[in-house]
């Protein structure tokens, strides 16, 4: 099995020597176990191969998958909550993330979901996911603001 990076896509030559083009990597457990279980899916949405553990691949192939994932993934990690303001439909969250400061709007409290333990994911109106890997690691002010909604 050999992987070739082609921009945001991947090509795979499988054990029988058949070449599959235009594959995209998909994490099966993006929130609870992002480093394991990555599936390679063709244009029709069919799974061509799946990789249980990236570390079993050599550095080059792992790099190919990781760079392809990096291009399509967008799950900002919330580092600090600066303000939560009431808006006409829902609340505007002003946050600082690992990708810089931003504002997003969520509609109901149900948009904040627990992923077990102190891990939270917030899904905004547009469907973007914001991750809080550990509520306890947020600063006191942020935790207090969060507490009112979750």
Partner 1 sequence: MVARLSTDLDWNLHFHAGLVVLTSQRLLHIEEGRFHEWKLAAVEELVLEELGPTTALHLMQDGNAVWHWRITAGHLREVETFISRFKEQRGLAEEGVESGEDDDEELFTPEIASTEPRFAGKPLLRLITFSRPWLGLMLVGLGLTVASTGASLLGPWLTMSLVDDVLIPLQSATHEINVQKVYQFVGGLLGAAVLTWMLQWATTYVVARLAECVTSRMRRTTFEHLQTLSLGYFNKKRTGDLISRIGNDTDDISLFISVNFIDFACDLLTIIFTAGVMFTINPVLALAALGPLPVVAWLVQWVRVHLRGGFAAASRAWSAMNSVLTDTIPGVRVVKAFAQEKREIERFRQHDQQIFDTNDRVNRTWSFFEPTIAFLTEFGLLVVWSVGAWAVAHEHTTVGVLTGFVLYVTKFYSRLDAMSRFVASAQRAAASAHRVFEILDVKPDMPVNKDTRKVGRLRGEIEFKDVRFRHGTRQIIRGLNLKITPGEMIGLVGPSGAGKTTLINLVCRFFDVSEGAILVDGNDLREIDVMDYRRNLGLVLQEPYLFFGTIADNIAYGKPGATRAEIIAAAKAARAHEFILKLADGYDSMVGERGQQLSGGERQRISIARALLVDPAILILDEATSSVDTETEREIQAALDHLVKGRTTIAIAHRLGTLRKANRLVVLENGVISETGTHDSLMKHSGTYARLHAAMEEVNHA
The nearer residue to partner 1, 35 or 82, going by C-beta atoms, is: 35
CB nearer to partner 1: give 71 or 83.
71
Nearer to partner 1, 6 or 113 (CB): 113
Least Cβ distance, residue 5 to partner 1 (angstroms): 21
**Residue ranges in contact with partner 1 by CB under 8 A:** 26-33, 36-37, 39, 41, 45-47, 50, 52, 110, 113, 115, 121, 127, 129
Q: Which residues pair with 39 in a beta bridge?
A: 26, 50
Which of 69, 75, 91 is closest to 23 using CA atoms?
69
- In angstroms, what is the minimal distance from the CB of 141 to partner 1? 27
CB 21 → partner 1: shortest distance, Å?
A: 18
Q: Would you say 13 or 115 has its CB closer to partner 1?
A: 115
Please, what is the minimum distance in Å from the beta carbon of residue 46 to partner 1? 7
Distance CA 70, CA 8 (A): 9
User: What is the rounded distance in angstroms from the CA atom of residue 57 to the CA atom of residue 148?
Assistant: 44
Beta bridge partners of 150: none
């Amino acid at each position: 099995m050999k992987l070739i990076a082609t921009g945001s896509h991947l090509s795979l030559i499988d054990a029988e020597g058949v070449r599959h083009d235009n594959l995209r990597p998909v994490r099966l457990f993006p929130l609870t176990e992002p480093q394991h279980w990555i599936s390679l899916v063709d244009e029709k949405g069919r799974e061509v191969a799946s990789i249980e553990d990236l570390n079993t691949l050599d550095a080059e192939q792992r790099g190919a998958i990781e760079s392809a994932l990096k291009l399509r993934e967008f799950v900002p990690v919330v580092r600090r909550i600066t303000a939560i303001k009431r808006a006409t439909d829902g609340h505007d969250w002003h946050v600082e993330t690992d990708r810089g400061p931003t504002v997003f709007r969520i509609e109901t409290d149900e948009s904040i979901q627990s992923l077990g333990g102190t891990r939270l994911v917030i899904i905004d109106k547009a469907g973007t996911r914001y991750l809080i890997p550990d509520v306890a690691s947020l600063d006191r002010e942020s935790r207090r603001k969060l507490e009112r909604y979750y």
